[in-house]
Amino acid sequence: MPQKTTRTLRPDAAGIAAAADILRAGGLAAFPTETVYGLGADARNGAAVAAIYEAKGRPSFNPLIVHVASAVIARRYGLWSDLAERLAAPFWPGPLTLVLPLRDGHGLSSLVTAGLGTVAIRVPEHPVAQALLAAFDGPVAAPSANPSGRISPTTAAHVLDGLSGRIDAVIDGGPCPVGLESTIVGLGGDAPTLLRAGGLPSEAIEAALGHALTQPREGAITAPGQLGSHYAPAAHVRLGATAAGEGELLLGFGPMDCDLNLSPAGDLTEAAANLFDHLHRLDARGRPIAVAAIPDHGLGRAINDRLRRAAAPR
């Protein structure tokens, strides 16, 4: 991956405007929230979101949290409910993420949601995060701003230690006051579920709800990215194909004759941005899917991880 010059920006109007410009241009800007530093990109721009995974060296496409300035804006992306209101009213802005059913016409990249029918949304309280969201005026996808497998950053120096040369900028807003990732509550099912323990104690959430949260399946809190909630096509998927077999649809990569191509130019960032959209589109045609070989380096490793799950026997 080509080296970038990573700028350290001050948390003043000029620094925030510069970070918003970076996001508008499809770049990556890290910023402080009250929990941990986030690595932000425009959540509507598939290539920008793919670049997050590339910078972090994430070996798989976990869905990301979409950061917005207010609960009113959150409703553009997630289906609102009485339950969502009961949690958003007391705890937003703050260290709480709500997983909501996706709303029609949301406009988010399918890579942000990893092709799921739900979206994780958070309204951060940190004044620098709020100022960036106001200046950018759009949804910001942001995982913690650390290389995959390393601990979450709570200072700009931590961010630079891990990601200098891989991102465009970090806004230095000092240490994060909470220092723990947000608590994630799933509202997609019958009962609110604690998907990840975090900076907002679950007791506070239970007090607001007036009842206990449903606990997730075994192991889900320690490995929240492996929730098994990834989109899986209904169709049979065959990997490493060089041509479509009888009745199959071919998902290509690089110059080739196929039904849909992840990236005719053989670009892994473009392929990542297209992955879930293309799988959905082929799946909707109700025929088995053959997928061309994808190089197993950089973002290709995350693409192949996702494809192996899609092809696993169910």
304 is in an annotated binding site: no
Chain contacts with Mg ion (rule: CB under 5 A): 144
Among the listed residues 272, 299, 297, the one whose alpha carbon sits nearest the alpha carbon of residue 114: 272
155 is in an annotated binding site: no
Among the listed residues 228, 219, 235, the one whose alpha carbon sits nearest the alpha carbon of residue 280: 235
CB of 204 to ligand TXA, least distance (A): 16
**Which of 225, 254, 288, 300 is the binder for ligand TXA (CB under 6 A)?**
225
Chain position whose Cβ is nearest to Mg ion: 144
Residue 292 neighbours by CB distance under 10 Å = 19
Q: Is residue 26 a contact point for ligand TXA (CB under 6 A)?
A: no
Among the listed residues 182, 177, 232, the one whose alpha carbon sits nearest the alpha carbon of residue 202: 182
Using CB atoms within 10 A of its CB, is residue 260 exposed (0-12), middle (13-18) or buried (19+)? middle
CB of 148 to Mg ion, least distance (A): 8
Between 35 and 261, CB nearer to ligand TXA:
35
Residue 203 neighbours by CB distance under 10 Å = 10
**Contacts of 278 by beta carbon, 8 Å cutoff, 6+ apart:** 251, 260, 262
Site map for ligand TXA, 110-139, x if CB under 6 A?
---x--x-xxx-x-----------------
Q: Which does 142 bind (CB under 5 to 8 A by kind): ligand TXA, Mg ion, none?
A: ligand TXA
Helix, strand or coil, per DSSP, at residue 278: helix
Cis preceding linkage at 93, omega within 30? yes
Among the listed residues 272, 264, 266, 265, the one whose alpha carbon sits nearest the alpha carbon of residue 51: 272
**Which of 51, 64, 241, 299 is the binder for ligand TXA (CB under 6 A)?**
64
67 is in an annotated binding site: yes
144 is in an annotated binding site: yes
Q: Is residue 88 a contact point for ligand TXA (CB under 6 A)?
A: no
Between 277 and 305, CB nearer to Mg ion:
305
Q: Which does 193 bind (CB under 5 to 8 A by kind): Mg ion, ligand TXA, none?
A: none
d(CA 68, CA 108): 12
**Which of 171, 195, 213, 262 is the binder for ligand TXA (CB under 6 A)?**
195
Q: Which does 119 bind (CB under 5 to 8 A by kind): Mg ion, ligand TXA, none?
A: ligand TXA
182 is in an annotated binding site: yes
The helix-helix angle for 127-136 and 13-24 (nearest 10°) equals: 50
CB of 11 to ligand TXA, least distance (A): 16
Between 147 and 266, CB nearer to Mg ion:
147
CB of 60 to Mg ion, least distance (A): 13
Between 181 and 248, CB nearer to ligand TXA:
181
Q: Is residue 237 a contact point for ligand TXA (CB under 6 A)?
A: no
Helix, strand or coil, per DSSP, at residue 243: coil
d(CA 148, CA 106): 28
Residue 117 neighbours by CB distance under 10 Å = 11
**Which of 20, 142, 200, 251 is the binder for ligand TXA (CB under 6 A)?**
142
d(CA 249, CA 243): 9
Q: Which residues are annotated as a binding site for L-threonine?
A: 35, 67, 122, 142, 182
Q: Which residues are annotated as a binding site?
A: 35, 58, 62, 67, 118, 122, 142, 144, 152, 182, 196, 231
Q: Which residues are annotated as a binding site for ATP?
A: 58, 62, 118, 144, 152, 196, 231
